[in-house]
Amino acid sequence: MSLKRVKVVLAAGATMASLAVVSVTGSVGASGATTVNWSTVQTLAASGPTSMAALVAAAKKEGTLNVIALPPNWANYGAMISTFSKKYGIKVNSENPNGSSQDEINAIIADKGRSTNPDVIDVGTNFAITAQQKGLLAPYRVSTWAHIPAALKQPNGYWFDDYGGFVAIGCNAAVVKVCPTSFAQMLQKGKGYKIGINNNPTASSSALAAVMAAAIANHGSLNNVKPGVDYFKTMNANGNFVATVAGPSTVQSGATNIVIWWDYLQASGINTLPGYAKKWKVVIPSDASMAEYYTQAINKSAPDPAAARLWEEFLYSTQGQNIWLQGMARPVELAYMTQHHLANAKALAALPPLPKGAIQYPTQAQITKAEAVVVANWPTEVTSGP
């Protein structure tokens, strides 16, 4: 089942802007071939110098692709990268795999003009919109553009959502006697809870989502997330909160025995650890059902512009979408793929069950407002770390 609503609601009355495709520049060589400036290509043609075949050839000639903040166990990115590299013979340089969305934006600014500059980013939508506003992104519409729901993409292709999931509670049942199934239960004292989120919510979309979900459960709302900050303040005072970048390593070390994180990352990142398949229990909290998507974008200053576009074409192909699905994430084209029997049936059946009742999806305005509240209050009321 696919997510039915969206993380980003486009402004009322927004329409698809006409797309002026600037794709071929330079002069005609002695052989009659036209030089293509791939950094200006906004969509592929059926044939000719900006066709898929031409893109593949140009990307192979570049030979490299720079990605950032893509842990191998995050939504099956390890398999995604290796499959892409093997298929096209392109070396993928993976920088700062455990970085945050803000780290990605910082990198494309700091590394501009360098061969190591990230070609593409995978960030929270609020970060993608900020990057677009700063003029950091290049518009591009993948060949399967029509398969992406309209509200999950910027009309001109400056950014487009890729995969999503639910904020979930993961618990080591071998250590915690009774695993909590709600935010309310996680505030209980004396249970031996060592609870972490995946980063600092002032800089991470996944951590911010945990605070927003906590607000829903703590008499707040997506329009009022201060109760979410108050919730973690109480958890910290109770001794249950661990200020760290929680994930597979902290679970294995015992630093955390409960993690509030995306359901697909709980499933693919922690459940797959040796010995954790049966003892790591994942539930969507009974008092807060919140879902979001992450977002793809191409760096305007990408040093490998053809490889960047080929990477996006691969991600949004049936093969790429199914790789995300096999990582327990819900790919953005899942509705289309399910309707046309293109989704991997085994992977689809293995997805964590959707919760009963209403599911809440924050709008961009709500995310932006929440981010401001968290930035203003989290460091002083909860912790300045990790």
> Cis (ω within 30 of 0) for the bond into 386?
yes
234 residue type, one letter: T
The pLDDT value given to residue 351: 82
3-state secondary structure of 161: strand
The pLDDT value given to residue 267: 85
Burial of 253 (0-12, 13-18, 19+ CB in 10 A): exposed
Digit-by-digit pLDDT tens for the chain (386 residues) are: 333 233 333 332 333 232 334 444 544 444 456 799 999 999 999 999 999 999 999 999 999 999 999 999 889 999 999 999 999 999 999 999 989 999 999 999 999 999 999 999 999 898 999 999 999 999 999 999 999 999 899 999 999 999 999 999 999 999 999 999 999 999 999 999 999 999 999 989 899 999 999 999 999 999 999 999 999 999 999 999 999 999 999 999 999 999 999 998 888 889 889 999 899 999 999 999 999 999 999 999 999 999 999 999 999 999 999 999 999 999 999 999 999 999 999 999 988 777 777 889 898 889 999 999 999 999 999 987 77
The pLDDT value given to residue 11: 31
Look up tokens 């709500």; give the residue: 366
Q: 180: which residues sit within 8 A by CB, 6+ positions away?
A: 169, 171, 186, 188, 191, 193, 258
Look up tokens 């009322």; give the residue: 12
CA distance 231 to 246: 18
The pLDDT value given to residue 4: 29
Residues in the chain: 386
DSSP 8-state assignment for residue 328: T
The pLDDT value given to residue 201: 96
Supply the angle between the helices 125-133 and 205-217 in degrees, to the nearest 10. 130
> For residues 192 and 363, is the Cβ–Cβ distance under 8 A?
no
Going along the chain from its start, the domains and CATH numbers come out as 38-163+293-349 (3.40.190.10), 165-291+357-381 (3.40.190.10)
CA distance 153 to 124: 13
76 CB-side CA count, 13 A: 24
DSSP 8-state assignment for residue 233: H
The pLDDT value given to residue 268: 80
